[in-house]
Structure 1
Amino acid sequence: MAAVQINDIRPGAPMRWLKAGAGDMARAPMVSIGYGLIFVAIGAALSLGLWFVGAAAWIPVALSSFALIAPLFAVGIYQISKHIDEGKAVTFSDVWLVSGEKISQVAFLGLLLIILLLGWARIAQFLYAYFASQDYTTLSEFTSWLLGNPAGLAMAVIGTVIGGMLALAAFAISAISFPMLIDKQIDAATALIASVTAVRRNLFPMLTWAWLIAFWTVIGTAFFGVGLAIVFPWLGHASWRAYQDFCTDCGPSSAG
């Protein structure tokens, strides 16, 4: 396992990544937005399932958990950007074509994110059991208790702090690792270390980038989730451009 060379970036780089990501999406709008719609549908199905079983109060936790592993789901978006860079026509089937040796490395990093997701779900369950005096099955009841009761506010604050720490860990692990695995002949451990190193050495711009990702994700979710069909691929393409800024000499490129 050899270390890779990570470039330092300028503080204003995240805005440039967003602009470049929008350019990628404009070059393959049908494929990019179609890919985003698939995951909007998955999130909607998850929310509806919780609603129908009388657990609507868990929808916010489920959606935030879903966001933790979004970088794994964005692998197809990285494939689109890679094809654009190579000057290839992009078709919907291209987003699923990950070679066998890469799948195992992607799956390893994906497993780490899933462990964080399960940890967050377990912590949320514990906090709810500790602070709530009764079951709040509807989203309106839960929201009223969360914002209008001291115990609910305490749970919200503690949950936000813990969730933020887990989200930061997931961000550090995945900031450039998944695009790197798609682009280079490299192992998961090397990609993970490179990603954490990139975040650690460029903390201010990367925290800005994390904030922008969170902000636009909230905006997309606010529009009943439909906005995520645009926001999700846009941020995925932008993450590919972020990776390219960091990694100009990270080992041999894959054949695609």
Structure 2
Amino acid sequence: MAETLTTRGDPEPQSRTTSEAEPQIRTVGTADLTDSLRKGLDDFKLMPTYLVLLTLIYPAVGLIAARAAQGNDVVPLIFPLISGFALVGPLAAVGLYELSRRREAGLDTRWTHVFDVLKAKSISTIIGLGVILAVLFAAWLASAVAIQQWAMGAQSAGDIPTFLHNVVATSGGHMLIVVGNLVGLVFAVVTLAIAAFSFPLALDRDVSLPTAISTSVRALVANPGPMALWGLIVVGGLVLGAIPLFVGLAVVMPILGHATWHLYRHVVV
């Protein structure tokens, strides 16, 4: 059942679904992914100042984490920290979803509206999803440490050049690459299934945590090929953004965040 509600102090009404019935899922193709990216880029062009202000926190956290890793002689954790950003990315992008939602509805898109997320009818669902992603991130880091110790032992210690040499030139390093990437892939797929559309859905409608997660999982199952390609696009974009001292994330992340909102519109009826 759908009804028209005026929420969050918006100047005009919006249509929001309040029923707990499972949302319907569409099948999409590469054209929908391209369209979502194009619209995400359009959003970024129209709201660049707001988005850069919002996402400067993201590369700053990355720089601090990498510096802390070097200072504490845990250089092997730098890559897991960088790659782990993809696991918490959906949570960091909630404010971007809100700006895209407001622009789509013809509402004011000043950067302060990112905090309207706190007024969402499904804020408890959003918080629950955030906790799940935080647990996945911590589990990934713990797994990375365990794999490094198992594969390389004492060879995982040392500065960055030494560690990279050991990864490339030793059998333990080769094992680390293979097993680490396989385990990382599992975490990435689980995160994609749980969080790809659950955050936008929770922002858009009044839904419970189980409904948000199940809808995102069903969307992945219904669109395995396109969603796998989308996952590669997201990971590839985050890696490219992280290469220039993380500052590229201030551009890459908002584009991907906005694009995810538009892909949600393509996938969820």
Task: Please tell me the TM-score bracket, short chain as reference.
Answer: over 0.9
Can you give the 5+ residue segments of structure 2 that lack an aligned partner in the other structure? 1-19
Is the 8 Å Cα contact of residues 57 and 138 (structure 1) preserved in structure 2? no
Give 1:101 shift.
Answer: 4.4
1:112 aligns with 2:140: no
Q: 1:8 aligns with which of 19, 27, 30?
A: 27
Question: Aligned partner of 2:217: which letter?
Answer: V
Give 1:102 shift.
Answer: 2.6
TM-score (norm 2): 0.88
Is the 8 Å Cα contact of residues 61 and 124 (structure 1) preserved in structure 2? yes
Which stretch shows the higher mean deviation, 144-153 or 114-123? 114-123
Q: Equivalent residue for 1:51?
A: 70
Is the 8 Å Cα contact of residues 122 and 205 (structure 2) preserved in structure 1? no
Q: 1:168 aligns with which of 185, 189, 196?
A: 189
Question: Aligned partner of 2:47: which letter?
Answer: A
Q: Equivalent residue for 2:261?
A: 240
Could you give the per-residue CA deviations for residues 123-158 of structure 1, whole angstroms, max 9, x where no partner exists? Answer: 111111112231423222111111111111111110
Q: Provide the secondary structure at the position in 1 that maps to 2:56.
A: helix
Q: Equivalent residue for 1:25?
A: 44
Could you give the per-residue CA deviations for residues 77-98 of structure 1, whole angstroms, max 9, x where no partner exists? Answer: 1011011112122222211222
Give 1:10 shift.
Answer: 2.3
TM-score (norm 1): 0.92
Alpha-carbon distance in 2 for matches of 1:44, 1:63: 10
Q: 2:230 aligns with which of 201, 206, 209?
A: 209
Bigger RCO of structures 1 and 2 (CA < 8 A, at least 6 apart): 1
Q: 1:182 aligns with which of 203, 217, 220?
A: 203
Percent of matched pairs sharing the same residue: 28
Q: Equivalent residue for 2:16?
A: none
Q: 2:214 aligns with which of 184, 189, 193?
A: 193
Q: Structure 1 segments of 4 or more deviating over 6 A?
A: none
Q: Equivalent residue for 2:92?
A: 73
Q: How many residues align?
A: 248
Alpha-carbon distance in 1 for matches of 2:31, 2:25: 18
Is the 8 Å Cα contact of residues 97 and 261 (structure 2) preserved in structure 1? yes
Alpha-carbon distance in 2 for matches of 1:209, 1:100: 27
Q: 1:123 aligns with which of 143, 160, 163?
A: 143
Is the 8 Å Cα contact of residues 100 and 261 (structure 2) preserved in structure 1? yes
Give 1:165 shift.
Answer: 1.1
Which stretch shows the higher mean deviation, 42-51 or 167-176? 42-51
Give 1:55 shift.
Answer: 2.3
